Amino acid sequence: MLGVDSFGHPLVMGSWPEQSPEWAGLKPSDLLLLSAASCSAYDVAMILRKGREPFADLEVQCTGTQAPTPPYAFTAIHLHYKVKGAVNAQKLARAIELSETKYCSVVNTLKATVKITSDYDLTI
């Protein structure tokens, strides 16, 4: 399947290979995790830039736990932020908090029904 966003960017989506071998693409449930990670990463990067915090790299790893039976709803999502640079740890923690409580539309939509947790690693 091909999805197209509001700006016309295409994205190939699929399913588990053992269910639909002809489909190659991202699983919609994985897209949900990627959406949470990218939405929050964007916010954190913008907040750090505005605060003139010198980060060299930002990566967000997002994992989720799903119910074992249909519809396999997510019950928990964890965001792990990996930041490199001479960033003030308190400012990084505050940027993450602001993203997860105020700015990221994806995380804020999900947290009504899904337990959202996060942590971070900061290296220079």
Reported as a pLDDT band with limits 50, 70 and 90, residue 43 is very high
27 Ramachandran zone, left/alpha/beta (phi>0; psi -120 to 50): beta
**Token pair 């919609």 is at which residue?**
28
Classify domain 27-123 by CATH architecture.
2-Layer Sandwich (3.30)
CA dist 26 and 72 (Å) reads 17
Q: Is the pLDDT of residue 16 over 80?
A: no
Is pTM beyond 0.75? Reply is: yes
The whole-angstrom separation of Cα 111 and Cα 106 is 9
What pLDDT is recorded for position 20? 63
Q: What is the C-alpha separation between 6 and 9, in angstroms, rounded? A: 8
Q: Which residues of 105-117 are buried (b: 16+ CB within 10 A; e: fewer)?
A: ebbbebeeebebe
- Give pLDDT, residue 17: 67
3-state secondary structure of 42: helix
d(CA 101, CA 80): 16
